[in-house]
Amino acid sequence: MKYIEYKGGLGDIIRHIYDENSDTYEGLIRLAPHERITIGFICANPGVKELVLWHPKRSQIDIFSIEYQDPWLAEQRIVHGLPEIWSPYNVRRGPIFFYPNPADHPTLVNVLRFRPYIVIAASASVDNRNFPVEITERVVSVAIRHGYSIVTVGRNYENWNSWGGRRFMNPHQEVRVAARDGVFDTIDRLSFPGTARIVEMASGVVCCNSAIMHLSWCMKKPTFALTSKDNWNGEYLQPNCGIFWGRAFPTTRCFPFYEYTDEGLVEWIEKSVRPQTLR
């Protein structure tokens, strides 16, 4: 039995999919007609299965998912009856392509009318990483004044977690942007693959520490990342931090919320986003 597994937060899974030393996702398109494969998702995000729900080889893919438990122990593989992982780890041969829900098409077409645009992903699965509303509104105003529309992305969902042997639900609520000219809201309107297409077409991405931050870096998009003081001190400033792995990219700027300035955002737009837009 061929079994591949994606474990962690949605951002961790995105990074795994883009790993240049693994073709486990990109290689699905090359399944022979007689082949089947099972994909296991170990993740708290209920939308993670959408990564393969509309894949052209969907009829040959068996999917199951369980909630991620922290800490994840080897014994849990036995408890859940998980098979051994089949990991050929061939070098990835082609680009990553996510297949949106066909119902996403009207929204994706409408987004094209707003180009050039900057994506805002203001929320994460951990609430203290979410943008303060004041900063969100300032980002929108600055981007519009400098010639960019804003496209908001995200989804509200029930975020079930298991931590230290206790299971609990932490509702995930998106930070909303006030309606105005130049803003197109796609929150709760797209599958995750549809959202990935939005990011792919963007001139730049403003985000918190979230799956969209990882996706933006994987796609080599200009990225303006903001996070909480605790996350900044506890993760970003650590020399071997793996979460902020794209912080040294030339078109990336990272700040804690308390260091955000409109001037810093303008500098990023003019030096990192504008050259990409003009290509």
Counted domains in the chain: 2
Q: What is the pLDDT of residue 77?
A: 76
Same domain, 227 and 142: yes
pLDDT of residue 243: 84
pLDDT of residue 164: 59
**What local confidence, expressed as pLDDT, does residue 64 receive?**
87
Predicted local distance difference test score (pLDDT) of residue 235: 76
CATH number at residue 179: 3.40.50.2000
| pLDDT at residue 82, rounded to an integer | 80
181 and 67 within one domain: no
Cα dist from 181 to 133, 149, 168, 177, 178, whole Å: 18, 9, 39, 12, 10
Domain match, 68 and 121 both:
no
**Structural domain contains residue 118:** yes
What was the pLDDT predicted at 56? 97
Tell me: do 47 and 109 sit in the same domain.
no
Q: Which of the listed residues 48, 79, 110 is the one where a domain comes to its end?
A: 79
In a domain, 92, yes or no: no
pLDDT at 106: 96
Give pLDDT, residue 279: 66
Q: What is the mean pLDDT of each run of 10 residues along the chain (279 residues)?
A: 86 91 87 92 89 97 82 72 71 88 97 94 85 95 97 84 61 84 95 97 96 96 94 77 88 95 98 86
Q: Identify whether residues 163 and 222 lie together within a single domain.
A: yes
Q: Are residues 51 and 107 in the same domain?
A: no
Which domain-ending residue is among 45, 79, 113? Answer: 79
| pLDDT for res 160 | 61
* Secondary structure of the chain as H, E, C letters: CCEEEEECCHHHHHHHHHCCCCCCCHHHHHCCCCCCEEEEEECCCCCCCHHHHCCCCHHHEEEEEECCEECCCCHHHHHCCCCCCCCCCCCCCCCCCCCCCHHHHHHHHHHHCCCCEEEEECCCCCHHHCCCHHHHHHHHHHHHHCCCEEEECCCCECCEEEECCEEEECCECCCCCCCCCCEEECCCCCCHHHHHHHHHHCCEEEECCCHHHHHHHHCCCCEEEEECHHHHHHHHCCCCCCCCCCCCCCCEEEEEHHHCCHHHHHHHHHHHHHHHHCC
Domain presence at residue 84: no
Residues 109 and 165 in one domain: yes
Question: Which domain does 7 fall in, by range?
Answer: 3-79
What confidence score (pLDDT) does residue 163 get?
A: 59
If one counts every other C-beta atom within 10 angstroms of the C-beta of residue 5, the result is 19
So what's the pLDDT on residue 63? 93
Whether 75 and 109 share a structural domain: no
